[in-house]
Structure 1
């Protein structure tokens, strides 16, 4: 191809001869039907003589290739369906837990407020962030008619309506637990145990956030250093410095991804509460903790499938399900997080059957704190 470059400076008036069109641009594109990520390779050369003032040295360039085809549209439809199914299942599992506590009202004070708060915020935050998109975006991209012949706006409304129902159910359960803890006869003891569990979980969450932010900062600096090294070697690397690319490496995006990891391990506060209270009461219905664990782990299974069946893992289409900006997604995370979630669910099952400290050695299970009694001696 023939390329042109503008020779005008910002303070000069454009002239008819202010462009240099004696530039040769060549590109080498990867195969269109390639299943693996490829790069567009090319070069930019000046066809002028070396003695010409407008002559410049040979430049090599490389950019990530991204093709849009019908598979992206199909994938978007599948991901919207997956979101609807996951949110609907969340509503069902929370409703089953509400029925469980109605049949056994004595278990309400033994459910962790921190755990329910995490799940409630997990439903609330997406609703708040997408509130404007639901009610105000009538003239933007929400009304785009896709090649598949479906209105994506209708699907988004269904997603947000089911999300609202899930949030209301979670909030209703949270309110019931709060009221039960205040009305309980052993109010002081229950609140002490709740605070102990929170004091143990909170430092773990803070430490994890610091590790996530530090790792994100290290990865971002490493990529920038690699890009600068490539430029110094004579290769022009075309990097995407758009708002989306910048935000994916920002502090906010790192914290959003970490919040998804906290949601994946939502059972941690309940495990700690059971350990401190040392109760074998079935506070959580099996359908609740196993079902929500399944819902949280399903996106990682889908991410593994998506990584091996699409040309580019992060294409230009909007990612509705298993969004890398809302959780940690890679082959290692997609294996490690499900295993961790299943271990948490197994611990809850064992605690509710054999006691809160059943995971400890036998000599640590029945430890009690004794108060010193004053002793009088005969003089």
Structure 2
């Protein structure tokens, strides 16, 4: 039997999401941050993107780019797996406790084992073959027959993902809508495979929001994301060639905007690079009803850098910054001096994406205090 897999692994990319809380001073590489304002869509050379932003209030698209181009779905297909399961649960749509536990984990924390369980139980490609006509999908197709165990190889397009969300929000029975969207509103920062899945929509927009993310091809390097499960080795199956990173979901009150950004990155792209690129694309979108997180974007360095509830190493740990990703800094506070030889720095950056403070030592800036950032 073909391996059951959704995020095939390829290049070993180290990514750390839990941290050693040290702090530092005159950070290493020097690059002052730049404000990312909304504007024309920015897609870097070498990156392929399928983009759709649909305004449910006006019934129009505010952004469209390569909307019918097919991408491998990675974990975005878990939306279809969940809907296929729920389709014939009526009339009360009762979900047994064991299934609820699996489905909750699949939708909130992108649990691969749960997806594989239903993929096999419900007939592999039959899941997709049922959902395509049910939802009127035009560019969605099951994995190749030789790789039917790889649910993440399902082909999708930005336009079809919008159709999925429109069904959920406008046509699905109320219990289905409440269950699926309720889970997507509770997406965890740390996925079940220990990847930080707060890229794209949750890195750019404050709530209300809901999201289902997808990633594929970034390797199986050890990482520690607080709350995530340990990564399990899996066979890659076939060469995926390019790394995929997708953010999909809704933004704004009453789920006003449906946002879909599917991306493929040059072969060998590290997770942090794709993470930053996707965030940049999402920041450039016109998203009606969305409230953007405030701040100036800065690069970071170091691995396992902790985010604290206050500007001290004794404050509670809230999260860990994935190695090498850019962060938004809305203000900075004078706190405990942190020493990491040869650096020492008493200033801490407040990161609205994480809801806490990180020592300025790990921010790419030449001075202890970040330029252009107000005091908290």
Q: What TM-score results when the alignment is normalised by the length of structure 2?
A: 0.20
The structure number with the bigger radius of gyration is: 1
Where relative contact order (Cα < 8 A, 6+ residues apart) is larger, the structure is: 2
Q: TM-score, structure 1 length as denominator?
A: 0.20
Higher helix share: 1
